Each structure stands twice: as structure tokens, then as C-alpha cells.
Amino acid sequence: MVAQKLRFADKSFIVRGRLKEAGLFGQHLFRHGGKMVVVTEGEIDALSVAQALALKWPAVSIPNGAHGAVKAIKAQLEWLASYDSIILWFDNDKAGRDAVAAVAPLLPPGKVKIVTAPGDCKDANDVLTRVGVSEVQRLVWDAPTYRPDGIVMGEDIELSRLQTIEKGWQTPLPELNRMTGGIHEAELWLLTAGSGIGKSTTSREWLKKALEDGIPCGAVFLEESKETTAKALIALDQNTPLSRLRENPSILTPAQWEASYRKLIANGRYFAYDHFGSVESDNLIAKLEYMAVSCGVKLCFLDHISIAVSGLDMDEGERRAIDILMTRLRSLIERTRMSVIAVSHLRKVGGDAKSFEQGGQIDLDSLRGSGALKQLSDTVVAIERDQQAEDNEERDKSRVRLLKCRFTGMTGLADVLRYDRNTGRQVVLTAFPDSVDTPADKDDEDPPF
């Protein structure tokens, strides 16, 4: 005997000796190893379970109540693990439930089962005295196996959910669509190019098509006001260069303004982020979450990553800030299932290599700021163009290069685009391959998300 616990009629108790050395209450009666052991929160509960199981099965109790559960279990881990099945039956109250949640992950995975006393019964002794022996037996034998949060049995993954069609939204670029399958639910796409090559122009073209396809869209263009973005969409719709429309709004008739405005802006599915010059990253993530959850946005355009992190006050600089933003963005996308197309910049090329503004070839390591950009994105699309080409036609021609695509694994050159200076539109020079749906074929289809 190393210790004695004395319990008085008023439920107060004192301890004599060294309880720390005593192990679990009742443990000394049972051997090392066996099929099953029941662990309760109190001594009387252990006696109750033992009696209900005809004294044939080990039943022990932690010595110090719920608050000492973790320590007591940790000290006897080896002995408990020697049993095939460890049944935890703690009290049906907050302290008991918290103790089970803290103790269960300490024990070997797959061995732990949990009993919860039914209804208003507090513990095993309560069940024995108020309901009876057979209920105690039933609860012990039927105890469900403990599984940590987030672990799912294969059987619980429904077959029908595996058979759903995963259709991507088709961008305006047919070859890119063929190579990627389009933008699927909960995907993070990066769009990158050298300075002034046409990232924003491309994003707006895609945004316009998504709105026409009936998809609720978010427009987070951090370098321009919400009015400029809206004006740019109207300019695209009216095949007018934005610069011309800004200088002279009356090149469009009131009816033209109204028609494009109703179609693309005031249509119930266009949501713009009014950033007022503040682009603090925490705030940005909260706004994106709101767009996804409360506004039902399925496709969000974020132009661009570097300005989104400029509000983050980070000693470690831009790389760390981009890591954090990308990680938050990724988890937001997983939570909300919204897809994001984010614009990202390129680093300066070193040495004699051609710059990205002069048509230099882009690869994944050209992304500026952090490895997280390529790692956490599903798809990375680059646009290459020689801004300084002698030949006008060559200067306005850009090549779309797929750098990464998780969905299909394809990479390489995709579409070729020509920028039409008279209309401000990107014209796709790629021929529509037979296998790709033309926009006309898709008229009567539902949107993919």
C-alpha cells in the first residue's frame, strides 16, 4: 500500500500517503495486457463497471478526477497500451468531456473507445443504480471507436460524391482551356507577366466573360478605383479602348453606357472591393471571405499580390508577407470553395538574359517574392510579349504560356493573342480546335460552379 484516499459522507476527501505513486485505482488487480480495459473518472464508477461486467474485465479509475486525467493517463501509458481496447468512460459533464478530448489523442490510435452516459445520467455508477446492469454492459460493448477530428472512414466518403462532374469555367482562351480544363471550383490561379505587358487587361477580359456567363464575380483591383474597373468593363463591352473612354465619355451614347452598365455592373452578380487606398492584408482576407460566403461569389479576381501584401508590417520583408498571404488565401479557398485568379509580378532577370518586357521566356522561378506562389497555386499562367519590338504587329502579339496545371499536368505554350489598339480588345489568334467547345456551343449550358 502506497496511499489511501478517504471519502467522507459529505463527499469531501483526504489523501494519506503518496497518491502519485499509486497508479490508476484498481490497476494492481489486473495483469499487463489483455483484450479490454475500462477507465473511469471516479473510483465508484470503476467498481460499478467491474460489478456490471461480473468482475471479469479490468476496470480502473484515474485517481484525481478530470483535472488530473492527462497526468494520470500519461504515467500509465504503457500499461494501458498493452490492452487491445481502451474504453474511456468519464463523467457526462464539461470537465469529463474536456478530459476525454485531452486524453484520447494520447493513447494508441484505433484502440480508444468512448462511452457517454445517456440522458441525464452523470456517470457509470448513475447508470448502474438508475438504469441497471444490462445498460452498463451495453454501453461498454457498443462504445464507438474514437476518431480525431478530421479523420474520416473510407465508408463515410459517399460514392455518389465521387461521381460528380468537375467542369471548369472556360476562360476566353481556347487552347488554355484545352490544356487546363478551365478554372474549377476552389482553384487558385496565378496570372503573371512583365510590367505593362497586359495582366490587368487579361484579367478584365476574363472577368467580363465570367459575368456574361452568369457567374457571380468579385473584382479586387487594388491599383485602381472601383469606378475605373467598372469603366474598363464597359469599354471592353463597347469595343473601345479604356484610355479613349476616360478622356471622352461621350464617345458612347447614353444607351450604350446604360446597356453595358446593366449587363456587366448593375446585374446582381458583380461585387467590387472598395479599398479606399487601404489594402491591409487581414482586412483583405476578411473581405474576400465575405464576398464568398455572404455574396455567393464563385470567381474572384485579385490584382495584384504585391500590393495586397504591402500593408503587412513584416520585418522579414516581402517574401514572408507573400508566404502568409498565400497560405491564408489557400485556406480561404478550401473553406469557401471560391476560386481566385490572382495577378503576380516577376522578378528582375539577371545577367544578359532578355527581360520579361522584351519577350524573355518566363518560368515558375521567375515569380517575384516567394516559393509559396508556385507551390500553393493550382495553375500558373504567364503572358510573354516584346514591348519594344520594331514591328508593330509583333509588339502587340502576346503568347500565353502554361507554367503549371495541377488538374491536367499539362504545360507549355497555349494561345497567341493580338491586342487591337482600335478596340482595346485582346483577339485570340489560336484556331478553335475541334475538341474545344466554342462559346456558341455553350450557350445553353449551366455555369460550371
Instruction: Return the bridge partners of 190, or none.
Output: 342, 380
Nearer to ligand ATP, 140 or 242 (CB): 242
- Find the distance separating the first CA and the last CA of the chain, reported in whole Å: 69
Residues 198-217 interacting with ligand ATP (rule: CB under 6 A): 198-201
Which residue in 61, 52, 193, 73 sits closest to 135, CA to CA? 52
Query: What is the smallest separation between the CB atom of 398 and ligand ATP, expressed in angstroms?
Result: 4
Strand partners, 86: 37, 112
Least separation, in Å, of the C-beta of 194 and ligand ATP? 7
- Please count the other Cβ atoms lying within 10 Å of the Cβ belonging to residue 410: 15
Coil/strand/helix, residue 362: coil
Closer to ligand ATP by CB, 42 or 241: give it.
241
User: Residue 197 Cβ, how far from ligand ATP at the closest point, in Å?
Assistant: 5
Q: What angle do CA 247, 249, 251 make, to 5 degrees?
A: 100
Nine cell digits for residue 104: 484520447
75/272 with CB nearer ligand ATP: 272
CB neighbour burial string for 90-121, b if at least 16 within 10 angstroms, e if fewer: bbbeeebeebbeebbeebeeebbbbbbbeeeb
In the complex, least distance from residue 214 CB atom to ligand ATP, rounded to whole angstroms: 25
Site string for ligand ATP, 162-201 (x = CB under 6 A): -------------------------------x-xxxxxxx
Bond preceding residue 345 cis, omega within 30 of 0 = no
Specify the residue, 334 or 420, whose C-beta has the smaller distance to ligand ATP. 420
Q: What does the angle CA 117 – CA 78 – CA 151 come to, to the nearest 5 degrees?
A: 55
Tell me if 419 contacts ligand ATP by CB under 6 A: yes
Strand order in the sheet with 59-61: 59-61, 34-40, 83-89, 112-114
Size of the site for ligand ATP (CB under 6 A): 13
Which residue in 81, 79, 88 sits closest to 61, CA to CA?
88
* Shortest spacing between CB 284 and ligand ATP, in angstroms: 17
- 385 counts as binding ligand ATP under rule CB under 6 A: yes
Contact 251/231 with Cβ under 8 angstroms?
no
From the list 219, 396, 428, 449, which residue makes contact with ligand ATP (rule: CB under 6 A)? 396
139 Cβ partners below 8 Å, 6+ apart?
89, 115, 117, 118, 127
Q: How far is the CB of 381 from ligand ATP (least distance, A)?
A: 13
CB of residue 303 vs ligand ATP: minimum separation in angstroms? 7
Is residue 432 near ligand ATP by the rule CB under 6 A?
A: no
Task: Pick between residue 289 and residue 357 the one whose CB is nearest to ligand ATP.
Answer: 357
Residue 382 one-letter amino acid? A
Q: Please identify, using beta-carbon distances, which residue of 282 and 394 lies nearer to ligand ATP.
A: 394
Answer for the pair 100, 90: CB distance below 8 angstroms, yes or no: yes
Of 179, 232, 185, nearest to 404 by C-alpha is 179
Nearer to ligand ATP, 394 or 441 (CB): 394
Give, as one character, the DSSP assignment of residue 32: S
**The one among 297, 398, 399, 403 contacting ligand ATP by CB under 6 A:** 398
> Which lies closer to ligand ATP via its Cβ, residue 199 or residue 298?
199
Provide the minimum distance between the beta carbon of 403 and ligand ATP in the complex, in angstroms, as a whole number.
16
Q: Which is nearer to ligand ATP, 186 or 233 (CB)?
A: 233
Using CB under 6 A as the binding rule, whether residue 44 contacts ligand ATP is answered as no
Q: How many CB atoms lie within 10 A of CB 296?
A: 12
How distant is the alpha carbon of residue 130 from its chain centre? 47
C-alpha to C-alpha distance for 372 and 446, rounded to whole angstroms? 34
Of the two residues 167 and 368, which places its CB atom closer to ligand ATP in the complex?
368
Q: Which residues pair with 419 in a beta bridge?
A: 426
Query: Toward ligand ATP, which CB reaches closer, 33 or 196?
Result: 196
401 scored as a contact of ligand ATP (CB under 6 A)? no
Closest-by-Cβ residue to ligand ATP is 198
State the residues that interact with ligand ATP by CB under 6 A: 193, 195-201, 385, 396, 398, 417, 419
